Chains A and B, each alone.
Chain A
């Protein structure tokens, strides 16, 4: 919550000053939107993980999330804005970065001084974004259609069924697993590095980094586990 307030203040600031146009302003914006998405990811994971234990609880929470006006009309737009902002900003930064070296080296050993993940955030990010497209196609569009276009009657028990249904398909599960792999790569660099971007580099940084790296491995693995769990159950 605090982070969201921070983000709002920052967005306000962005409009009132040229912070957004400076290199540092932009990287802070990247870091903040990234961290916001990490928080969302944690929440999303928690709810999904519940589906492994209890169908009822999962349905209950899903119903709440899907029909609570605060979630639907405040948090959801912010989330969508966060995703779009993070993506657009990443794209703008990438364009700018390419422009700052118009003539390329004929020999460039990027691997000698920086890990692959840190140099290829745009690609891991692009994969995650495409996955998001698939994910929306699978869940969000049908959901929007159900609730707001066709305005079908409320059914608090439909969510679990709808979800497990999707994980029946081999191809989809494979796509999900690959995407989570890229999500892990993206998080591996992005999460820890967002602290550096916001100016945190002190004696706590090694611990923060360890935590961020564990997070980036555990959460995607968890998602993979959930996908596999429902896939195997549906066979």
Chain B
């Protein structure tokens, strides 16, 4: 199929960006979206145009590095997929596709479609861990039984890949879904409960300092999340935070 791509080009963080239009021909429906971008880049290099910079790595939907806002939606029109697993069969011959970087104050553009998501790392560094040394001399793994339902819920929350689609999608650029996934994972496990109070306070504080917006419960994040992380986690974080605040 033949497509018209409208792509955000921005030379570096300081430069002013704009949308450029590129035609691309003979796109196979079996290509992934990123493979289509590879083909476009080969074409651009041939024409002496700087290839489009975009983040990507595992290309199997788990590393969370790819990050495009395609036709007005994070990771494009398909559900429960990252951009690397979005296939061109979701588009029609003759389509115009608009591709922009994930936009948020906390995610500054590095170049073209590449953004800096280190704010997420800093939120995790503020408390996204269990303070246990890696000595290997902890108690036996089976010494604390954990309710299967809680363990499963903790897993579901822990499945977050940190791609930032929640922030990119949210009309307020809020990072609540991301932060709440980590808060929930640990809040649901006995190992994490011990320092739950400090964790939620510190992580939320860092999240706010990074300049993410507020949650207004639109639920867009849950819909666009490639791993289907539930809004239930945000409610749990609110609960944890309230409890931690009142506990003082």
In the complex, what residues of B have CB within 8 A of residue A28's CB?
A: 238, 242
Which of A13, A107, A196 lies in contact with B246, CB distance below 8 A?
Answer: A13
Question: Is B105 among interface residues, defined by CB-CB distance under 8 A?
Answer: yes
- B231 and A108 form a contact (CB under 8 A): no
- A114 and B238 form a contact (CB under 8 A): no
In the complex, what residues of A have CB within 8 A of residue B231's CB?
A: 196, 201
| Complex interface: stretch among B50-58, B190-198, B203-211 | B203-211
* A193-B212 contact in complex given A24-B238, A100-B105, C-beta closer than 8 Å: no
Question: Is B98 among interface residues, defined by CB-CB distance under 8 A?
Answer: yes
- A23 and B215 form a contact (CB under 8 A): yes
Task: List which B208-236 residues lie within 8 A (CB) of chain A.
Answer: 208, 211-220, 223-224, 231-232, 234-236
- A193 and B19 form a contact (CB under 8 A): no
Question: Is B104 among interface residues, defined by CB-CB distance under 8 A?
Answer: yes
Question: Is A168 among interface residues, defined by CB-CB distance under 8 A?
Answer: no
- A114 and B223 form a contact (CB under 8 A): yes
Chain B interface size band reads: 35 or more
Chain A residue at smallest Cβ distance from B243? A199
- A96 and B173 form a contact (CB under 8 A): no
Question: Is B171 among interface residues, defined by CB-CB distance under 8 A?
Answer: yes
Which of B19, B77, B204, B213 lies in contact with A100, CB distance below 8 A?
Answer: B213
Question: Is A74 among interface residues, defined by CB-CB distance under 8 A?
Answer: no
Give the complex CA separation of A18 and B244 in angstroms.
12
Give the complex CA separation of A200 and B237 in angstroms.
10
Chain B residue at smallest Cβ distance from A103? B103
- B214 and A93 form a contact (CB under 8 A): yes
Min CB–CB distance B188 → chain A (angstroms): 14
Give the complex CA separation of A17 and B238 in angstroms.
17
* A199-B223 contact in complex given A13-B246, A22-B204, C-beta closer than 8 Å: no
Question: Is A121 among interface residues, defined by CB-CB distance under 8 A?
Answer: yes
Please count how many residues in chain A sit with their CB below 8 Å of the partner chain's CB atoms: 41
Min CB–CB distance A131 → chain B (angstroms): 21
Give the complex CA separation of A121 and B98 in angstroms.
28
Most buried by A among B169, B232, B245: B245
* A101-B100 contact in complex given A13-B245, A17-B245, A199-B242, C-beta closer than 8 Å: no
- A196 and B105 form a contact (CB under 8 A): no
In the complex, what residues of A have CB within 8 A of residue B145's CB?
A: none
Give the complex CA separation of A108 and B212 in angstroms.
18
Question: Is B67 among interface residues, defined by CB-CB distance under 8 A?
Answer: no
Question: Is A235 among interface residues, defined by CB-CB distance under 8 A?
Answer: no
In the complex, what residues of A have CB within 8 A of residue B23's CB?
A: none
Most buried by A among B220, B224, B231, B239: B220
Question: Is A97 among interface residues, defined by CB-CB distance under 8 A?
Answer: yes
Give a binary string over A6-27; 1 marks a CB under 8 Å from any B CB, 0 the rest. 0000000100010101111111
| Complex interface: stretch among B37-45, B68-76, B133-141 | B68-76
- B217 and A109 form a contact (CB under 8 A): no
- B173 and A197 form a contact (CB under 8 A): no
In the complex, what residues of B have CB within 8 A of residue A54's CB?
A: none
In the complex, what residues of B have CB within 8 A of residue A198's CB?
A: 238-239, 242
* A196-B214 contact in complex given A107-B72, A114-B223, C-beta closer than 8 Å: no
Give a binary string over A94-107; 1 marks a CB under 8 Å from any B CB, 0 the rest. 00110111111111
Which of A19, A24, A102, A197 lies in contact with B217, CB distance below 8 A?
Answer: A197
Question: Is A232 among interface residues, defined by CB-CB distance under 8 A?
Answer: no
Q: Which 10 A-B pairs have the closest CB atoms?
A: A199-B239, A201-B235, A109-B72, A100-B213, A97-B172, A113-B223, A193-B217, A114-B218, A114-B220, A199-B238
Query: Please, could you name 7 A-B residue pairs with CB atoms under 8 Å apart, sorted by A?
Result: A17-B248, A22-B204, A101-B172, A107-B71, A107-B98, A108-B72, A113-B224
**A-B contact sample (16 more), CB < 8 A, given A25-B245, A113-B169, A196-B238:** A17-B245, A22-B208, A23-B208, A26-B214, A27-B214, A28-B242, A97-B216, A100-B211, A104-B103, A105-B72, A106-B8, A114-B171, A118-B216, A121-B216, A198-B238, A200-B239
Residues in B lying within 8 Å of A, measured CB to CB: 8, 19, 69, 71-73, 77, 98, 100, 103-106, 169, 171-174, 176, 204-205, 207-208, 211-220, 223-224, 231-232, 234-242, 245-246, 248
